[in-house]
Structure formats: structure tokens, C-alpha cells
């Protein structure tokens, strides 16, 4: 595997939440830098061998406004 994709959303409590597509990897971070570090650590824990070399972050942001 050469790439893994994470869906990233802002957490209602603050910070960010990320989940991998196609894998049971979930993590969070207070800042974007801490989230990236937590994603790296989660990948290392999840894959014994053949860990992906590229991480792609797909950001989802919900915005609500009055009509």
C-alpha cells in the first residue's frame, strides 16, 4: 500500500478528528500539527509491515447560515 486517506473534520469540542477510509484508524488532535503527529503514530501502530508512504487528508467542513 502506498497511500492512505483520512477524512478530517473539526470537532464540536474543539480541535480535529480524523478517520481512515478502509481501515479502523481513528485519532484526534487539538491543532493540525498534533493531528498529523497522531495520524503518523496511529499508522505505525496499525500496520506491522507495509505501512503507507503517503497520507492524504480530505477536509470536510460543514457551514450553516440563515436563508
pLDDT tens digits for 4-54? 999 999 999 999 999 999 999 999 999 999 999 999 999 999 998 889 999
Does residue 67 lie in a domain region?
Answer: no
Does residue 51 lie in a domain region?
Answer: yes
Between the alpha carbon of residue 1 and those of residues 5, 46, 62, 64, the distances in Å are 11, 13, 31, 37
pLDDT of residue 28: 98
The Cα–Cα gap between 5 and 3 comes to 7
Does residue 65 lie in a domain region?
Answer: no
Does residue 52 lie in a domain region?
Answer: yes
Question: Using 50, 70 and 90 to split pLDDT, how confident is the model at 65?
Answer: very high
| Surface-to-core class of residue 9, CB atoms within 10 Å of its CB (0-12 exposed, 13-18 middle, 19+ buried) | middle
C-alpha of 41 from chain center: 11
Q: 44: domain range?
A: 3-60
Domains identified in the chain, total number: 1
Amino acid at each position: 500500500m502506498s497511500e492512505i486517506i483520512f477524512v478530517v473534520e473539526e470537532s464540536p469540542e474543539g480541535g480535529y478528528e480524523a478517520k481512515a477510509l478502509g481501515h479502523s484508524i481513528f485519532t484526534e488532535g487539538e491543532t493540525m500539527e498534533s493531528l498529523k503527529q497522531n495520524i503518523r503514530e496511529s499508522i505505525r501502530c496499525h500496520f506491522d509491515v507495509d505501512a503507507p508512504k503517503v497520507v492524504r487528508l480530505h477536509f470536510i467542513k460543514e457551514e450553516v447560515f440563515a436563508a
